[in-house]
Chains A and B, each alone.
Chain A
């Protein structure tokens, strides 16, 4: 079984709709992250959480919100989706006890906003 799972894997929605992307992990890591990937732009950090009570904005947080419901769960919401939020979204986890703090990624959610 995958250590980091994301649901849904694919989603098509319309402009103005609210949607939620979910991430779960069984690695026991305290830290979790949400990234988006766009062609030619690499991976850009949206939000991150170092523990259940900690939420931090990343490079491109506008238009997004997150919720850390438990150590194992970190969800990303688009309150009112717009077409330029069409992208691949990745969740990742890391363990602060790891000296280089490798991040482990989920398989991604492909989102299309019409």
Chain B
């Protein structure tokens, strides 16, 4: 049973436009949600996170929105840049347990 779901395997966006990556979860006990970015031949790197007690967290061009009632979060990248092309993983944790990852979404930003 997949607790964290990223239903879009890939997304293409034009440079300068908004990229929206979506993530759904099933475990209402998750207390932190994290987004990771992964380039080819590198390990995933932490991008941005949000606590379950908040509904929005912003860091420069990146904003994460959390809708607890819908068990849904999204990552917005504005404006998108070619260097943002990567695989993005949504992850979540509850209490003292390891992160649970989604399957990832490959973002391609087209110049």
Contact = CB atoms under 8 A, between A and B. Distances in A.
B99 A42 contact: no
Bin chain A's interface residue count. 20 to 34
Contacts of B44: 43, 90, 105
B28 to A, nearest CB: 18
B101 A101 contact: no
A101 B32 contact: yes
Interface string A64-106: 0000000000000000000000000010100010011111111
B108 interface: no
A102 B43 contact: no
Nearest to A91: B43
A41 interface: yes
A53 B33 CA distance: 28
A107 B93 contact: no
10 closest cross-chain pairs (CB), A and B: A105-B43, A42-B103, A43-B101, A100-B32, A105-B44, A102-B46, A42-B101, A107-B43, A42-B104, A106-B43
B25 to A, nearest CB: 13
14 contacts: A40-B9, A42-B103, A42-B104, A43-B44, A43-B89, A48-B98, A92-B43, A101-B93, A102-B49, A105-B45, A107-B43, A108-B41, A108-B42, A108-B43
B98 A107 contact: no
Given A48-B98, A100-B49, A102-B34, A41 B103 contact: yes
Contacts of A101: 32, 93, 99
B51 interface: yes
A27 to B, nearest CB: 13
A55 interface: no
B99 A103 contact: yes
A4 interface: yes
B97 to A, nearest CB: 9
